[in-house]
Structures are given as structure tokens and as C-alpha cells.
Amino acid sequence: MTASQPIVDRPILTFPEEVSDWVRAFYERAETILEYGSGGSTVMASEMRGKTIFSVESDPAWCRDMEAYFEESGSVSKVTMHYANIGPVGKWGRPSSDRHWARFHRYPNSVWDRADFVAPDIVLVDGRFRVGCVLATLLRTEKPVTLLFDDYVDRPFYHRVEKFVEPVEIKGRMARFDIVPTPLPKHHLTEMLTLFTKSL
């Protein structure tokens, strides 16, 4: 490797163009951004001025690569990579098995427990445990927040969130939800706890 070669390649934004433009527009208006799943969107956010960015990852190797990229390349706005330890993972940060299921709730929830956490204006759901990430946002936000849910349209399992909150807009494969602080619906507690462990 020569001195001119980067240690870590720049993560690429893989959204379709209309989705990329949509995410960019919401990121530009936000002050604080929370991402479930990191990559090209994280880099895009980091190149915007005046942002506070948290990005959740279940794959420790990818999390280190992202940190190495920002350390080497720098960023306009600081990115805090948050590693959620859910046990061994495979491709795309999916749990290798259900053996460590008792940790799975950490992926949607643990970033909200950080001492340095700042309540987000925008949440991007593009990683693991996507339904759980919506539920965590519903239950833990203390102010209205916009949530963008990637791959929502064509994956019926994700539509289970509509029991708790309905999308207000669709752009290509992505759905937008306008979330307000929501009390725990006690009669759905068992279902909600189960959904926190679904890694889809």
C-alpha cells in the first residue's frame, strides 16, 4: 500500500437516486441525526456543516472501518459510531444465530442510553432490527421526530409497525413516519418485546 492509498475505501451511498435526494433533504434540515446502520449515508451526513451524528452498528469490524475512515479522511461534522454488541454477526451485521437473543434489544435501544446522546431530529432506519428501531424511537423520543424507513414498501413484515404508527409519505422503497412521544401501549407489550428481537 502506498502513502496515497486510503486505508479504508469511502463508503458508497447505495440508495436509488430519488431516495438519496430525499434523505439528503431531511439531513440538511436536521441538527441531530440518528442512523441505524452506517455507510454512505453516514459519510453524506458527516460532510454537512453543524450536524450531530450518531450511527448504530452491530458489526464490530465494520464499525472499526467506519471509525478508521473518519479518522483518516476527516469530517465536517463529528460522527459518533455506536457499537451495539448483540453477539457474533454475519453479513450485514445480522446475528449469526439466536443464541444471544437476550442482547438483541441493545441494537434499537442502547444508543439512547449514552451519556452524550442528543435527541434526534431525524432517524434513518437502514440496519438490523428495523421494526424494533421504530418502536424504540416511539417509546424513547421526548419530542417530535421524522423517521425514514428504508426498504419498507416491499417487505410485508415491516408493515407490522402500522399497529403503532402509520407512514405519512412514500418515496420509492422508503417510508416516512412522523413520530411523537408515545406512551407504552400496555395491551401490546408482549408483541412489542418480541419485535425487539427480530433482526430483519
Q: What is the mean pLDDT of the chain?
A: 92
Scan for cell 428504508, then name that residue: 150
Q: Please report, for the chain, the start and end positions of each structural domain, with discontinuous segments joined by +.
A: 17-195
Which pTM value belongs to this model? Answer: 0.91
Gap between the Cα atoms of 86 and 190, Å rounded:
21
pLDDT for 6 equals 57
Q: Which architecture, in CATH terms, is 17-195? A: 3-Layer(aba) Sandwich (3.40)
pLDDT for 90 equals 82
- Res. 7 pLDDT band, cuts 50 70 90: low
For 26-59, the pLDDT digits (tens) are 999 999 999 999 999 999 999 999 999 999 999 9
pLDDT for 159 equals 97
**Angle, CA of 190, 196 and 197, to the nearest 5°:** 100
- Measured between its terminal Cα atoms, the distance across the chain in Å is 37
For 116-172, the pLDDT digits (tens) are 999 999 999 999 999 999 999 999 999 999 999 999 999 999 999 999 999 999 999
Question: At residue 196, what are phi and psi to the nearest 5 degrees?
Answer: -65, -15
